[in-house]
Structure 1
Amino acid sequence: MKAEAYLFAGVAAFFFITDAFYIWLAREPAGAAALAVSFGMAAVISFFCAMNYRRKGRRPEDRSEAKIHERAGTVDFFPPDSRYPVLVGFGVALLALGLVYGLWVFLIGIGVTGLSVFGMVFQYVDRDV
C-alpha cells in the first residue's frame, strides 16, 4: 500500500498545484472548485492507503520473495441476488421526481430510499463468517 499512497499523494499534489495556478490565472470559481474537490479526493485515497500500510504492513505483492500461498484463501463475501439495489434506485428516482412534482413525492422517495438502504446494509448481518 505504500506505493499506492505515494502515487495518490503525487496525484493530489498535481491537483493542488494545478488548482493554485488556475485560481491565479483564470479567476473562475467552477474550475477552481472542481480542482479542489479532485485534490481532496486524491488526498483521502492517499491517506487511506498510508494508514492501511501503517496498520497492516507490507503485503505479499510488495515483497519479491513472497510465495503464492501467502495470499491464498477466502477473498471476501460476495452476496448473491438481492432486490435492494433496485429499490434504492427506485427511491432515488422518486426523490428526483419529487424535486419536480412536489414535496409529497419527495417524502415518499425519502421513505423508500431510507428503508431500502437500511435493508441493503443489514441484509446479511446474521450470516456465518
Structure 2
Amino acid sequence: MKSGAKAMYAIGAFMLLMTIIYILATNFVQEDGYLGKVEWAGITGLALATGLSFMLGGYLHFTEVRCDILPEDWEEAEVADKAGTLGFFSPGSIWPAAMAGSIAVLGLGIAFFHYWMIVLGAALLVFSVAKLNLQYGLPKESH
C-alpha cells in the first residue's frame, strides 16, 4: 500500500475515533436537566467525513496498485526525483476567471434562492468549463 492510501486510511481511522468520542461526549453531557440528548448535526458531519476518508483511501489503494513506484514511496529518493514538467498552464486564458464569476453567480443564486440566477450561473459555468477544456482542442476559425 502506498503513502496516499495510508494517509487517507489514517485520517479515516482518526475521524472514526472522533465520531465515537463525540457520540459518547454528547450523550453523557447534561444540558437543562436532560441527560442523553443526541446532537445529530455533528454526528452526521463526522460520520460523513469518516466515510469520505475511507472511500478516498480505498480509491487510492486500488489505483496506486496499477502505478509504478512513486518517489514518495521510495526510501532512497531525492527531491530531484519528483521534479519535472507538471503540465501546460495557459497564462493568457480568460476562462478560469470566467469560471470564478460563474461560480459567484451560482453561489449568489443559491444563497438568495433565486431560481433564475441559479439557472444562469449553472449555464455560465457549463459554458466556461467547456471553453476552458476546448480552448486548445478546437480548430481555428478562418475568415
In the superposition, the TM-score normalised over structure 1's length comes to 0.72
Partners of 1:67 and 1:96 in 2: CA distance: 43
Bigger mean CA offset, 70-79 vs 4-13:
70-79
Following TM superposition, by how much is the alpha carbon of 1:116 offset from its aligned partner in structure 2, in angstroms? 0.9
Following TM superposition, by how much is the alpha carbon of 1:86 offset from its aligned partner in structure 2, in angstroms? 1.5
- Decide whether aligned partners of structure 1 residues 72 and 31 sit closer, same or farther in structure 2, where only a CA change above 3 A counts: closer
1:47 to 58, 81, 91: 58
The Cα offsets for residues 19-69 of structure 1, whole Å up to 9 and x where unpaired, read as 133234422111112212321332233223322321014224433456888
Q: How does 1:1-129 map to 2 (within 5 A)?
A: 2-26=2-26, 27-64=38-75, 73-99=84-110, 100=112, 102-125=114-137
* SS of corresponding position for 2:65: helix
**Larger Rg, first or second structure (1 or 2):** 2
- Decide whether aligned partners of structure 1 residues 44 and 125 sit closer, same or farther in structure 2, where only a CA change above 3 A counts: farther
Unpaired runs of at least 5, structure 2: 27-37, 139-143
Task: State the match for 2:34 in structure 1.
Answer: none
The Cα offsets for residues 77-113 of structure 1, whole Å up to 9 and x where unpaired, read as 3333321122122222222333437333332222212
Percent identity (aligned): 29
Following TM superposition, by how much is the alpha carbon of 1:74 offset from its aligned partner in structure 2, in angstroms? 3.3
Q: Which has the higher helix share?
A: 1
